[in-house]
Amino acid sequence: MPSMAQEPAQARLAQSSLSGFPEWLPAGRLVEQSFVDALRRTFELHGFSGIETRAVEPLSELTRKGETSKEVYLLTRLQADPAEQDGQEGTADPAKQLGLHFDLTVPFARYVVDNAGTLTFPFKRYQIQKVWRGERPQEGRFREFIQADIDIVGDGALPLHYDVEIPLIMHEALTALPIPEVTIHVSNRKVAQGFYQSIGLGRDQLIEVLRVVDKLDRIGAEGVRRELVSSVGATPEQAERALDLAGISGTDAREVARAVRSALGGAEPSALLAEGLEELSDLLAAAAARRPGALVADLRIARGLDYYTGTVYESFMAGHEDLGSVCSGGRYDSLATNGKRTFPGVGISIGLSRLLSRVISAGLLEVSRPVPTCVLVAVADEEHRGASDAVADALRSRGISADVAPTAAKYGKQIRFAAKRSIPYVWFPGQEDPDSVKDIRSGEQVEASASTWQPSQHDAAPRVLPAGVPAGTPAGTAPTAEPAPAADGPR
Amino acid sequence: MPSMAQEPAQARLAQSSLSGFPEWLPAGRLVEQSFVDALRRTFELHGFSGIETRAVEPLSELTRKGETSKEVYLLTRLQADPAEQDGQEGTADPAKQLGLHFDLTVPFARYVVDNAGTLTFPFKRYQIQKVWRGERPQEGRFREFIQADIDIVGDGALPLHYDVEIPLIMHEALTALPIPEVTIHVSNRKVAQGFYQSIGLGRDQLIEVLRVVDKLDRIGAEGVRRELVSSVGATPEQAERALDLAGISGTDAREVARAVRSALGGAEPSALLAEGLEELSDLLAAAAARRPGALVADLRIARGLDYYTGTVYESFMAGHEDLGSVCSGGRYDSLATNGKRTFPGVGISIGLSRLLSRVISAGLLEVSRPVPTCVLVAVADEEHRGASDAVADALRSRGISADVAPTAAKYGKQIRFAAKRSIPYVWFPGQEDPDSVKDIRSGEQVEASASTWQPSQHDAAPRVLPAGVPAGTPAGTAPTAEPAPAADGPR
């Protein structure tokens, strides 16, 4: 009797013939789909509406922030008529030229403006879609990948309690996945900007300070200190203060606030810093009450602070800190505007393909089988295929996935067909005798009726589990720990 | 008390600012997602594995059939380095130039070849993804749309019983949707080619005969007769015979075979015709036994016969025949080949966006609410937001979608917030008193505990229903009937 262990998901990895465009074999896709389903379930339980936006946006929309413009894939029609005036491609006008979206935030902001008259605010939406970035192939980055975003957007104003809800919902969603624990790190633009302001760094130096502090993991404290002085023009004392700020982390709201004030070294906190600290403290206190351990203040975060206007999120997976931030986001007071109305938003985004690729290639997951099929119905001979079809239909009508053997080969060969796909049961229509069903892992065969038989609960659908962990155990954390590197930047 | 009728889905239609790129408002997306879920469920019950392929293929792969080459969107990188030698875009080499896929068959064939060493055959896969066609904008066609495909592919050989299973599974999947009844029409390349051969039309005339017969709905029998004689070179007698063949339809295997032989007008049936008639008869007989009324032979089908090698499918929705074929497919003896091995396949594909767009814009559907939210938890004042959050979390932990009011406004305003989104229940945390929950449609308010209360079964999740039909009633068929026009061609 063939014995079937659970299959490591990585044995079924993508076989992509185009660099940067990952593709999964059926077992890998099954894992991906199970992750998408789990995320969607959590988001919907919290009242988020699912939307999809078109894959393309006008280039003018995509390059509003110049920084990302070099990653855009532009579209042209293979046989576009050069004389065609109303075509939206092949033209130099960036409002008519189309490109593939590189994230889900730009399209969502445009969608909010397009539909501002119909949507109800605050509008909570989730969006799980592929995005594309025209990276150079040699960089070994994904050029096509799935992002999973949640955002809440208001009309004119958006209460601050949503800054707490967004990361907690995402943490709940990530906790439902069979992956190592993820911790969400938070900072606040107003804290950083207010702090630098309080110690006498100018508004015009902010972006440069953030750029240098962001290098902390790569060049170390000494390197940051030197560069803040030499290239940003900070005094040694100011550089020291900035490093003190970057060293602050913790979950206790009061301790974090106290540490920030102490890092000022006697300087008077500006109004902006006080406002930021109050926001950050409220966030930490509310998060600690609702989901202890999910959120930690981390004032080393510099990436994204030039873009977001308040709270900022980055997230790290235990044992996989080298991957950088697995989900990032923040609050932007002007996510979208149509001239008359402004729509503030707060959101967070998972780079799902990158996360999935890591946990699969690290061997962290197993799938119980790569096909949905629970039962293979054997065929005695082609004249009796109809009887096997009827058994399969009866099973399906009760929600049990069934397939019928492709040919009326010898039963041993039909059982091997099932074993090769890890289908756990083979059904033998009985003709005159009663039907019987065999668990081909144990070899146990019992009489059964297609209108009443049930598989074991574990066998009903393919399961995705942490590798080497018995069914039902929550995801373990990988034992290795590497130093936290620079995060992967804002969405 | 606000009274809320179910909302017609068309009131929530797309608001797309780019012609040809449809986008749905949340209610429309909810319908789309429910259709995708229902299709997936049926496909998985039948043992199909879900896969996704990358959105791009090399141009050389996309233009293997020259016919569709003009619909391809090509990709270029916005700031591609002209000196870059290893880039896969911006080059004239069609093996390196990338384009967006225009269907799911070309990528699937390539995927089978790429992974032939790992996949197990016969391989049953479903694939539900967006595809893109660079249509001229003025044609008013979709340039981005969802296709839902099932295919079964063999290694070397593929049993004929799969020609029966594929359309029956698709019919089962379509029947699970709240749309008018769909009937799948079948023909067979060997019947058509064998028939024309038997009446003395040459092999080289086949494509032209098919092209003319395909115009039957547009130019009528007289027009077809004239054109077969004038431009194809058929005799009047041969033209008459071809029209007789095109007039044959029915569900009874023997009657159809008899009618075809009679249409020969005494000519001897060729071996190919005999083979085709046997295949078609077996298909009709098996389909009639398993799913009466799902399949009908229709020898007027001409589109796709130049491509497929055996059975061909087209499908029409009752009352919406003007839409053309809503799902099409067939058997191709050489779906894919890697030089050494040939992979025959049989499959069928739904143009999901087009189908959805029709049923929504025709007002055939209603959604019970546009948000997943079942309960809005009211907030007495901001100090007690934590209590409302706890109620919502308790409901969610039992699978009930819940949202918390955005602000502690007056209860009347919070109820209006729920009513505007068609959220059926508002929950009032009781502080010292017990909690209570109000059905805001009836106004009925009862004491409740967040750890035990259940909504009515109908309210648990948003429902998509045929318009004007009470819950639980199967989809009705629209009363109008228009003449069946030319079908929409092969996938």
Are B234 and B225 in contact by the 8 Å Cβ rule? The answer is no
Q: Assess whether A339 and A266 both reside in one domain.
A: yes
What does the pLDDT look like over A418-427, one tens digit per residue? 999 999 999 9
Chain A hits for B17, Cβ within 8 Å: 110, 114
How many distinct structural domains can be found in chain A?
2
- The mean pLDDT of A218-242, rounded to a whole number, is 95
Q: Residue B136 — very low, low, confident or very high, per pLDDT cuts 50/70/90?
A: confident
The pLDDT value given to residue B66: 60
The pLDDT value given to residue A107: 95
Q: Are strands A425-428 and A436-439 parallel, antiparallel or unpaired?
A: antiparallel
- The mean pLDDT of B3-26, rounded to a whole number, is 65
- The mean pLDDT of B270-290, rounded to a whole number, is 96
Chain A hits for B74, Cβ within 8 Å: 75-78
Burial A349-367 (b: 16+ CB within 10 A, else e): bbbbbbbbbbbbebebbbb
The pLDDT value given to residue B244: 96
- Does A13 reside within a domain? no
> In terms of C-beta distances under 8 Å and separation of at least 24 residues, what long-range contacts does B202-208 make, across chains too?
B205/B232, B205/B233, B205/B234, B206/B306, B207/B306, B208/B232
- Does B482 reside within a domain? no
Q: Residue A86 — very low, low, confident or very high, per pLDDT cuts 50/70/90?
A: very low
The rounded mean pLDDT for chain B is 89
Q: How far is B123 from chain A (nearest CA, A)?
A: 10
Q: Residue B138 — very low, low, confident or very high, per pLDDT cuts 50/70/90?
A: low
- B20 → chain A, closest CA residue: A54
- Does A3 reside within a domain? no
Q: Assess whether A50 and A193 both reside in one domain.
A: yes
The pLDDT value given to residue A15: 57
Residue A454 lies in domain:
375-465
Return the higher-pLDDT residue of B183 and B303: B183
The pLDDT value given to residue A5: 45
User: CB distance A372–B59 less than 8 Å?
Assistant: no
Q: Assess whether B126 and B225 both reside in one domain.
A: yes
Q: Assess whether A342 and A383 both reside in one domain.
A: no
Q: How far is B471 from chain A (nearest CA, A)?
A: 21
Residue with tokens 């576009």, as numbered in its chain: A80
Q: Assess whether B257 and B406 both reside in one domain.
A: no
User: CB distance B76–A79 less than 8 Å?
Assistant: no
The shortest CB-CB distance from B114 to any of A15, A50, A393 is to A15
Residue A408 pLDDT greater than 80, yes or no: yes
> What CATH number is given to the structural domain containing B417?
3.40.50.800
Residue B305 pLDDT greater than 70, yes or no: yes
The pLDDT value given to residue B285: 96
The rounded mean pLDDT for chain A is 89
- Of all residues in chain A, the percent with pLDDT exceeding 70 is 87
Does A151 count as an annotated binding residue? yes
The pLDDT value given to residue A89: 46
Distances (CA, A) of A382 to A385, A415, B281, B306: 5, 17, 17, 31
Q: Assess whether B351 and B417 both reside in one domain.
A: no
Residue with tokens 């109050």, as numbered in its chain: A278
- Of all residues in chain B, the percent with pLDDT exceeding 90 is 77
Return the higher-pLDDT residue of A308 and A70: A308
The pLDDT value given to residue B482: 33
- The mean pLDDT of B314-325, rounded to a whole number, is 95
What does the pLDDT look like over B177-193, one tens digit per residue? 999 999 999 999 999 99
Residue positions forming the annotated binding site of B for L-histidine: 103-105, 133, 147, 151, 303, 307-308
The tokens for B307 are 């491509």
Residue A481 pLDDT greater than 60, yes or no: no
- The H or E element spanning position A162 is helix A161-175
Distances (CA, A) of B319 to A78, B181, B364, B477: 37, 9, 12, 7
* C-alpha–C-alpha distance, residues A316 and A326, integer Å: 6
Residue B460 pLDDT greater than 70, yes or no: yes
The pLDDT value given to residue A70: 59
Q: Assess whether B440 and B358 both reside in one domain.
A: no
Does A103 count as an annotated binding residue? yes
Residue A92 pLDDT greater than 90, yes or no: no
The shortest CB-CB distance from B70 to any of A50, A78, A86 is to A78
Would you call the peptide bond into B429 cis, given omega within 30 degrees of 0 as the criterion? no
Residue B476 pLDDT greater than 70, yes or no: no
Instruction: Give A155: exposed, middle or buried? Use CB within 10 Å, 0-12, 13-18, 19+.
Output: middle
- Does B416 reside within a domain? yes
- Does B19 reside within a domain? no
User: CB distance A396–B45 less than 8 Å?
Assistant: yes
Q: How far is A325 from chain B (nearest CA, A)?
A: 25
The shortest CB-CB distance from A29 to any of B50, B63, B120 is to B50
User: CB distance B78–A134 less than 8 Å?
Assistant: yes
Q: Assess whether A437 and A345 both reside in one domain.
A: no
Chain A 387-426, residues with CB within 8 Å of chain B CB atoms: 389, 393, 396, 399-403, 406-407, 420-421
- Does B108 reside within a domain? yes
- The mean pLDDT of A42-69, rounded to a whole number, is 88
Any A CB within 8 A of B264 CB: no
Any B CB within 8 A of A60 CB: no
Q: Assess whether B382 and B269 both reside in one domain.
A: no
- B19 → chain A, closest CA residue: A88
- The mean pLDDT of B341-363, rounded to a whole number, is 94
What does the pLDDT look like over A126-171, one tens digit per residue? 999 999 998 876 666 899 999 999 999 999 999 999 999 999 999 9
The pLDDT value given to residue A270: 96
- Of all residues in chain A, the percent with pLDDT exceeding 90 is 77
Q: Residue B85 — very low, low, confident or very high, per pLDDT cuts 50/70/90?
A: very low
User: CB distance B402–A136 less than 8 Å?
Assistant: no
The pLDDT value given to residue A138: 64
Any A CB within 8 A of B60 CB: no
Chain A 201-240, residues with CB within 8 Å of chain B CB atoms: none
Any A CB within 8 A of B53 CB: yes
Burial A182-199 (b: 16+ CB within 10 A, else e): bbbbbbbbbbbbbbbbbb
Q: Residue B27 — very low, low, confident or very high, per pLDDT cuts 50/70/90?
A: very high
Residues whose CB falls within 8 Å of the CB of residue A198, separated by 6 or more in sequence, listed in order: A264, A267, A268, A269, A270, A273
- The mean pLDDT of A176-205, rounded to a whole number, is 95
Q: In what order do the strands lie in the sheet with B464-466?
A: B7-8, B365-367, B464-466
Residue A485 pLDDT greater than 50, yes or no: no
Least confident of A292-301, A333-342, A386-395, B447-456: A333-342
Q: Residue B2 — very low, low, confident or very high, per pLDDT cuts 50/70/90?
A: very low
The pLDDT value given to residue A438: 98
DSSP helix/strand/coil, A147: strand
Q: Assess whether B183 and B129 both reside in one domain.
A: yes
Any A CB within 8 A of B291 CB: no
The pLDDT value given to residue B202: 87
> What CATH number is given to the structural domain containing A188?
3.30.930.10
Full-model pTM:
0.92
- Does A277 reside within a domain? yes
- Does A283 reside within a domain? yes
HSE (CB half, 13 Å, CA atoms) of A123?
A: 28
Chain A 146-185, residues with CB within 8 Å of chain B CB atoms: 154, 159, 161
Any A CB within 8 A of B83 CB: no
Q: Assess whether B358 and B447 both reside in one domain.
A: no
The shortest CB-CB distance from B73 to any of A63, A77, A161 is to A77
Residues facing A127 on adjacent strands = A149
The DSSP code for B484 is -
The pLDDT value given to residue B11: 42
Are B358 and B219 in contact by the 8 Å Cβ rule? The answer is no
Q: Assess whether A411 and A358 both reside in one domain.
A: no
Question: How large is the ipTM?
Answer: 0.91
- The mean pLDDT of B342-360, rounded to a whole number, is 95
Q: Residue A329 — very low, low, confident or very high, per pLDDT cuts 50/70/90?
A: very high
Return the higher-pLDDT residue of A474 and A17: A17
* C-alpha–C-alpha distance, residues B154 and B163, integer Å: 12
- B158 → chain A, closest CA residue: A406
